[in-house]
Protein backbone atom coordinates (compact mmCIF):
# COMPACT_ATOMS: atom_id res chain seq x y z
CA UNK A 1 0.00 0.00 0.00
CA UNK A 2 1.38 3.40 -0.95
CA UNK A 3 1.94 6.21 1.54
CA UNK A 4 -0.91 8.20 -0.04
CA UNK A 5 -3.37 5.31 0.32
CA UNK A 6 -2.31 4.81 3.93
CA UNK A 7 -2.89 8.50 4.73
CA UNK A 8 -6.34 8.40 3.09
CA UNK A 9 -7.37 5.29 4.99
CA UNK A 10 -5.94 6.41 8.33
CA UNK A 11 -8.99 8.44 9.49
CA UNK A 12 -11.29 5.47 8.84
CA UNK A 13 -9.42 3.24 11.27
CA UNK A 14 -10.64 3.14 14.84
CA UNK A 15 -8.13 4.62 17.27
CA UNK A 16 -7.37 2.71 20.50
CA UNK A 17 -8.75 5.59 22.59
CA UNK A 18 -12.06 5.42 20.66
CA UNK A 19 -12.41 1.72 21.39
CA UNK A 20 -11.51 2.33 25.04
CA UNK A 21 -14.12 5.08 25.40
CA UNK A 22 -16.84 2.97 23.84
CA UNK A 23 -15.91 0.09 26.15
CA UNK A 24 -16.35 2.45 29.12
CA UNK A 25 -19.65 3.70 27.75
CA UNK A 26 -20.98 0.18 27.31
CA UNK A 27 -19.79 -0.78 30.79
CA UNK A 28 -21.71 2.11 32.39
CA UNK A 29 -25.16 0.40 32.57
CA UNK A 30 -23.54 -2.66 34.16
CA UNK A 31 -21.30 -0.78 36.58
CA UNK A 32 -23.89 1.87 37.50
CA UNK A 33 -27.32 0.20 37.30
CA UNK A 34 -28.71 2.68 39.84
CA UNK A 35 -28.03 5.47 37.32
CA UNK A 36 -29.59 3.71 34.33
CA UNK A 37 -32.16 6.49 33.84
CA UNK A 38 -29.39 9.11 33.68
CA UNK A 39 -27.38 6.96 31.27
CA UNK A 40 -30.46 6.64 29.06
CA UNK A 41 -30.95 10.41 29.15
CA UNK A 42 -27.29 11.00 28.26
CA UNK A 43 -27.47 8.59 25.31
CA UNK A 44 -30.56 10.33 23.92
CA UNK A 45 -29.00 13.77 24.41
CA UNK A 46 -25.79 12.59 22.75
CA UNK A 47 -27.72 11.36 19.71
CA UNK A 48 -29.59 14.68 19.55
CA UNK A 49 -26.30 16.61 19.82
CA UNK A 50 -24.76 14.42 17.10
CA UNK A 51 -27.63 15.34 14.78
CA UNK A 52 -27.08 19.06 15.42
CA UNK A 53 -23.34 18.64 14.89
CA UNK A 54 -23.96 17.38 11.36
CA UNK A 55 -26.14 20.41 10.63
CA UNK A 56 -24.05 23.05 12.38
CA UNK A 57 -20.56 21.67 12.86
CA UNK A 58 -20.11 20.05 9.46
CA UNK A 59 -22.59 21.75 7.11
CA UNK A 60 -22.38 25.16 8.80
CA UNK A 61 -26.18 25.60 8.99
CA UNK A 62 -27.07 27.70 12.02
CA UNK A 63 -30.23 26.40 13.72
CA UNK A 64 -32.11 27.35 16.86
CA UNK A 65 -35.15 25.22 16.07
CA UNK A 66 -33.69 21.74 15.97
CA UNK A 67 -36.27 20.67 18.54
CA UNK A 68 -38.82 20.61 15.70
CA UNK A 69 -37.38 17.32 14.43
CA UNK A 70 -36.88 15.97 17.93
CA UNK A 71 -40.53 16.67 18.73
CA UNK A 72 -41.85 15.19 15.48
CA UNK A 73 -39.90 12.01 16.16
CA UNK A 74 -41.21 11.85 19.72
CA UNK A 75 -44.86 12.40 18.82
CA UNK A 76 -44.60 10.15 15.76
CA UNK A 77 -43.21 7.21 17.76
CA UNK A 78 -45.66 7.76 20.62
CA UNK A 79 -48.73 7.96 18.36
CA UNK A 80 -47.56 4.95 16.37
CA UNK A 81 -47.18 2.89 19.54
CA UNK A 82 -50.51 4.02 20.94
CA UNK A 83 -52.69 3.58 17.85
CA UNK A 84 -50.91 1.22 15.44
CA UNK A 85 -48.17 -1.05 16.80
CA UNK A 86 -46.18 -1.09 20.06
CA UNK A 87 -42.97 -2.53 18.59
CA UNK A 88 -40.09 -0.19 19.60
CA UNK A 89 -37.98 -0.70 16.47
CA UNK A 90 -40.88 0.01 14.13
CA UNK A 91 -41.76 3.12 16.14
CA UNK A 92 -38.14 4.24 16.04
CA UNK A 93 -38.10 3.94 12.26
CA UNK A 94 -41.37 5.87 11.99
CA UNK A 95 -40.08 8.69 14.20
CA UNK A 96 -36.88 9.02 12.19
CA UNK A 97 -38.72 8.86 8.85
CA UNK A 98 -41.22 11.57 9.83
CA UNK A 99 -38.43 13.87 11.00
CA UNK A 100 -36.47 13.21 7.81
CA UNK A 101 -39.57 14.07 5.77
CA UNK A 102 -39.96 17.34 7.67
CA UNK A 103 -36.28 18.11 7.12
CA UNK A 104 -36.58 17.45 3.40
CA UNK A 105 -39.69 19.63 3.11
CA UNK A 106 -38.17 22.57 4.99
CA UNK A 107 -34.65 22.31 3.54
CA UNK A 108 -35.40 24.56 0.51
CA UNK A 109 -36.08 27.42 2.93
CA UNK A 110 -32.83 26.72 4.77
CA UNK A 111 -30.29 26.27 1.98
CA UNK A 112 -31.10 29.51 0.16
CA UNK A 113 -30.94 31.98 3.03
CA UNK A 114 -28.31 33.70 5.11
CA UNK A 115 -27.43 32.69 8.67
CA UNK A 116 -29.94 35.16 10.11
CA UNK A 117 -32.63 33.82 7.80
CA UNK A 118 -31.88 30.27 8.88
CA UNK A 119 -32.09 31.22 12.53
CA UNK A 120 -35.51 32.75 12.04
CA UNK A 121 -36.85 29.98 9.79
CA UNK A 122 -35.73 27.16 12.08
CA UNK A 123 -37.17 28.90 15.13
CA UNK A 124 -40.36 29.61 13.19
CA UNK A 125 -40.82 25.98 12.13
CA UNK A 126 -40.38 24.78 15.72
CA UNK A 127 -42.78 27.46 16.97
CA UNK A 128 -45.46 26.53 14.43
CA UNK A 129 -45.21 22.84 15.36
CA UNK A 130 -45.40 23.71 19.06
CA UNK A 131 -48.64 25.65 18.53
CA UNK A 132 -50.10 22.92 16.31
CA UNK A 133 -49.35 20.28 18.96
CA UNK A 134 -50.99 22.50 21.56
CA UNK A 135 -54.06 23.21 19.41
CA UNK A 136 -54.78 19.63 18.33
CA UNK A 137 -54.94 18.36 21.89
CA UNK A 138 -57.33 15.59 20.89
CA UNK A 139 -54.44 13.96 19.06
CA UNK A 140 -51.38 15.10 21.00
CA UNK A 141 -52.82 15.62 24.48
CA UNK A 142 -51.98 19.31 24.35
CA UNK A 143 -50.54 20.77 27.53
CA UNK A 144 -51.29 17.53 29.42
CA UNK A 145 -49.11 15.51 27.09
CA UNK A 146 -49.75 12.29 25.20
CA UNK A 147 -50.40 9.68 27.86
CA UNK A 148 -51.10 5.97 27.78
CA UNK A 149 -48.13 5.11 25.54
CA UNK A 150 -47.27 1.48 26.26
CA UNK A 151 -44.29 -0.03 24.45
CA UNK A 152 -44.00 -3.69 23.59
CA UNK A 153 -40.95 -5.74 24.58
CA UNK A 154 -37.72 -4.94 22.77
CA UNK A 155 -37.00 -7.63 20.15
CA UNK A 156 -40.07 -9.42 21.53
CA UNK A 157 -38.18 -10.47 24.69
CA UNK A 158 -37.00 -7.56 26.83
CA UNK A 159 -39.68 -5.65 28.70
CA UNK A 160 -39.00 -2.00 29.56
CA UNK A 161 -38.53 -1.83 33.33
CA UNK A 162 -39.04 1.03 35.78
CA UNK A 163 -35.31 1.07 36.54
CA UNK A 164 -34.59 1.95 32.87
CA UNK A 165 -31.99 -0.80 32.54
CA UNK A 166 -33.41 -2.08 29.24
CA UNK A 167 -34.03 1.49 28.09
CA UNK A 168 -30.41 2.52 28.73
CA UNK A 169 -29.00 -0.42 26.77
CA UNK A 170 -31.51 0.19 23.96
CA UNK A 171 -30.60 3.88 23.68
CA UNK A 172 -26.88 3.16 23.84
CA UNK A 173 -27.22 0.55 21.09
CA UNK A 174 -29.03 3.02 18.81
CA UNK A 175 -26.44 5.70 19.61
CA UNK A 176 -23.56 3.36 18.82
CA UNK A 177 -25.04 2.18 15.51
CA UNK A 178 -25.77 5.76 14.44
CA UNK A 179 -22.28 6.87 15.52
CA UNK A 180 -20.63 4.16 13.40
CA UNK A 181 -22.77 5.00 10.37
CA UNK A 182 -22.27 8.76 10.69
CA UNK A 183 -18.55 8.27 11.21
CA UNK A 184 -18.41 6.38 7.94
CA UNK A 185 -20.49 9.01 6.11
CA UNK A 186 -18.36 11.90 7.36
CA UNK A 187 -15.17 10.14 6.26
CA UNK A 188 -16.56 9.55 2.79
CA UNK A 189 -16.11 12.02 -0.10
CA UNK A 190 -19.51 13.47 0.81
CA UNK A 191 -18.33 14.19 4.36
CA UNK A 192 -15.12 15.79 3.10
CA UNK A 193 -17.17 17.97 0.75
CA UNK A 194 -19.33 19.08 3.71
CA UNK A 195 -16.25 20.31 5.55
CA UNK A 196 -15.08 22.11 2.42
CA UNK A 197 -18.54 23.63 2.06
CA UNK A 198 -18.46 24.86 5.65
CA UNK A 199 -15.04 26.43 5.21
CA UNK A 200 -15.52 28.02 1.75
CA UNK A 201 -18.77 27.66 -0.17
CA UNK A 202 -17.60 29.70 -3.14
CA UNK A 203 -14.60 27.46 -3.70
CA UNK A 204 -16.79 24.35 -3.55
CA UNK A 205 -19.25 25.86 -6.03
CA UNK A 206 -16.40 26.83 -8.37
CA UNK A 207 -15.33 23.19 -8.37
CA UNK A 208 -18.68 22.29 -9.94
CA UNK A 209 -20.29 20.76 -6.83
CA UNK A 210 -23.86 21.48 -5.77
CA UNK A 211 -23.77 23.55 -2.59
CA UNK A 212 -27.52 23.61 -2.05
CA UNK A 213 -27.85 19.89 -2.71
CA UNK A 214 -25.26 19.02 -0.07
CA UNK A 215 -26.79 21.41 2.43
CA UNK A 216 -30.21 19.82 1.88
CA UNK A 217 -28.86 16.29 2.34
CA UNK A 218 -26.96 17.24 5.51
CA UNK A 219 -29.99 19.04 6.91
CA UNK A 220 -32.28 16.08 6.18
CA UNK A 221 -29.79 13.64 7.71
CA UNK A 222 -29.52 15.77 10.85
CA UNK A 223 -33.32 15.96 11.02
CA UNK A 224 -33.64 12.18 10.78
CA UNK A 225 -31.16 11.61 13.61
CA UNK A 226 -32.92 14.19 15.78
CA UNK A 227 -36.16 12.31 15.10
CA UNK A 228 -34.54 9.09 16.28
CA UNK A 229 -33.50 10.82 19.50
CA UNK A 230 -37.02 12.12 20.06
CA UNK A 231 -38.50 8.69 19.36
CA UNK A 232 -36.16 7.14 21.91
CA UNK A 233 -37.26 9.65 24.54
CA UNK A 234 -40.95 8.95 23.95
CA UNK A 235 -40.44 5.19 23.91
CA UNK A 236 -38.28 4.96 27.02
CA UNK A 237 -40.42 7.32 29.07
CA UNK A 238 -43.82 6.32 27.67
CA UNK A 239 -44.76 9.97 27.35
CA UNK A 240 -44.60 12.86 24.88
CA UNK A 241 -45.45 16.45 25.74
CA UNK A 242 -45.06 19.96 24.38
CA UNK A 243 -41.69 20.07 26.13
CA UNK A 244 -40.12 18.13 23.24
CA UNK A 245 -40.89 21.05 20.91
CA UNK A 246 -40.04 23.87 23.30
CA UNK A 247 -37.30 26.39 22.50
CA UNK A 248 -35.31 25.39 25.58
CA UNK A 249 -34.81 21.96 24.03
CA UNK A 250 -33.00 23.54 21.06
CA UNK A 251 -31.07 25.89 23.35
CA UNK A 252 -29.94 23.10 25.69
CA UNK A 253 -28.62 20.94 22.86
CA UNK A 254 -26.81 23.94 21.44
CA UNK A 255 -25.14 24.46 24.82
CA UNK A 256 -24.16 20.80 24.95
CA UNK A 257 -22.56 21.08 21.52
CA UNK A 258 -20.75 24.28 22.52
CA UNK A 259 -19.32 22.48 25.55
CA UNK A 260 -18.20 19.45 23.56
CA UNK A 261 -17.12 21.28 20.43
CA UNK A 262 -18.84 21.46 17.03
CA UNK A 263 -17.30 19.94 13.91
CA UNK A 264 -15.85 17.02 15.87
CA UNK A 265 -17.70 13.69 15.88
CA UNK A 266 -17.03 13.10 19.57
CA UNK A 267 -18.05 16.66 20.44
CA UNK A 268 -21.73 15.81 20.74
CA UNK A 269 -21.06 12.84 22.99
CA UNK A 270 -18.61 14.72 25.20
CA UNK A 271 -20.92 17.73 25.44
CA UNK A 272 -23.96 15.58 26.24
CA UNK A 273 -22.14 13.76 29.02
CA UNK A 274 -20.80 16.99 30.51
CA UNK A 275 -24.11 18.85 30.23
CA UNK A 276 -26.31 16.10 31.68
CA UNK A 277 -23.90 15.25 34.50
CA UNK A 278 -23.57 18.93 35.40
CA UNK A 279 -27.34 19.27 35.24
CA UNK A 280 -27.88 16.25 37.48
CA UNK A 281 -25.26 17.24 40.05
CA UNK A 282 -26.04 20.95 40.14
CA UNK A 283 -29.82 20.52 40.26
CA UNK A 284 -29.40 18.16 43.21
CA UNK A 285 -27.18 20.73 44.92
CA UNK A 286 -29.23 23.82 44.04
CA UNK A 287 -32.47 23.04 42.23
CA UNK A 288 -33.36 26.69 41.56
CA UNK A 289 -30.02 28.07 40.39
CA UNK A 290 -28.38 25.22 38.47
CA UNK A 291 -28.63 27.25 35.24
CA UNK A 292 -26.47 29.95 36.87
CA UNK A 293 -23.63 27.48 37.37
CA UNK A 294 -24.02 26.11 33.85
CA UNK A 295 -23.69 29.69 32.61
CA UNK A 296 -20.64 30.26 34.81
CA UNK A 297 -19.05 27.13 33.35
CA UNK A 298 -19.70 28.37 29.82
CA UNK A 299 -18.14 31.74 30.65
CA UNK A 300 -15.08 29.93 32.02
CA UNK A 301 -14.95 27.79 28.91
CA UNK A 302 -15.00 30.85 26.65
CA UNK A 303 -12.46 32.83 28.72
CA UNK A 304 -9.95 30.06 29.33
CA UNK A 305 -10.51 28.28 26.04
CA UNK A 306 -11.48 24.71 25.30
CA UNK A 307 -7.97 23.85 24.16
CA UNK A 308 -6.48 24.63 27.57
CA UNK A 309 -9.22 22.87 29.51
CA UNK A 310 -8.97 19.80 27.30
CA UNK A 311 -5.18 19.70 27.07
CA UNK A 312 -4.92 16.45 29.12
CA UNK A 313 -7.55 14.88 26.88
CA UNK A 314 -5.71 15.91 23.72
CA UNK A 315 -2.52 14.43 25.17
CA UNK A 316 -4.40 11.19 25.80
CA UNK A 317 -5.70 11.16 22.22
CA UNK A 318 -2.24 11.69 20.75
CA UNK A 319 -0.80 9.00 22.98
CA UNK A 320 -3.45 6.56 21.85
CA UNK A 321 -3.33 7.48 18.19
- pLDDT tens across 241-297, in order? 898 998 888 888 888 888 888 888 888 888 888 888 888 877 777 767 667 766 776
**Dist CA 224 CA 164 (whole Å):** 24
pLDDT-wise least confident of 1-5, 200-204, 259-263: 1-5
Query: Is residue 223 in a domain?
Result: yes
Asked if the model's pLDDT at residue 2 lies above 80, the reply is no
Q: What angle do CA 151, 156, 162 make, to 5 degrees?
A: 45
Give the model's pLDDT for residue 7: 44
**Dist CA 274 CA 262 (whole Å):** 14
Q: Counting beta carbons within 10 angstroms of the beta carbon of residue 3, is it exposed (0 to 12), middle (13 to 18) or buried (19 or more)? A: exposed
Q: What's the structural domain count of the chain?
A: 1
175 close to 46: Cβ distance less than 8 angstroms: yes
pLDDT (tens digit per residue) in 211-248:
788 888 999 999 999 999 999 999 998 888 898 998 88
Query: Is residue 81 in a domain?
Result: yes
Query: Is residue 6 in a domain?
Result: no
Query: Is residue 201 in a domain?
Result: yes
Query: Is residue 7 in a domain?
Result: no
Residue 50: CA atoms inside 13 Å, Cβ hemisphere, count?
Answer: 30
Question: Per-residue confidence at 8, pLDDT binned at 50, 70, 90?
Answer: very low
Query: Is residue 3 in a domain?
Result: no
- The mean per-residue pLDDT over the stretch 71-99 comes to 93
If phi over 0 gives left and psi between -120 and 50 gives alpha, with beta otherwise, what is residue 50?
alpha
pLDDT (tens digit per residue) in 160-198:
887 788 999 999 999 999 999 999 988 888 888 787 777
CB neighbourhood size of 140 (10 A): 22
- Between the CA of residue 151 and those of 63, 80, 180, what are the distances in Å? 32, 10, 26
Query: Is residue 74 in a domain?
Result: yes
Question: Per-residue confidence at 302, pLDDT binned at 50, 70, 90?
Answer: low
How many angstroms separate the first and last alpha carbons of the chain?
A: 20
Asked if the model's pLDDT at residue 201 lies above 90, the reply is no
Domain hosting 253: range is 15-320
Largest Cα–Cα distance of the chain, in whole Å? 64
308 close to 93: Cβ distance less than 8 angstroms: no
67 close to 247: Cβ distance less than 8 angstroms: yes
Query: Is residue 102 in a domain?
Result: yes
Kindly report the CATH number assigned to the domain that includes residue 265: 1.10.3470
Amino acid sequence: MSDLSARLLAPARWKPWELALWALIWAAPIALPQHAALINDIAITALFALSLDIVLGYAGIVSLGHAAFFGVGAYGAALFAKHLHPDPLLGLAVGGALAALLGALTSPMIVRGTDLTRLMVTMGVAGVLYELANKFDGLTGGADGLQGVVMGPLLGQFEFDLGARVASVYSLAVLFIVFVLVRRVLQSPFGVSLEALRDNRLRLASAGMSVQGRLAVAYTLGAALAGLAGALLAQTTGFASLDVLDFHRSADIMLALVIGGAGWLWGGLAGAIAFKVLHDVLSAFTAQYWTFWIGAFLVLLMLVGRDRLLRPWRWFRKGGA
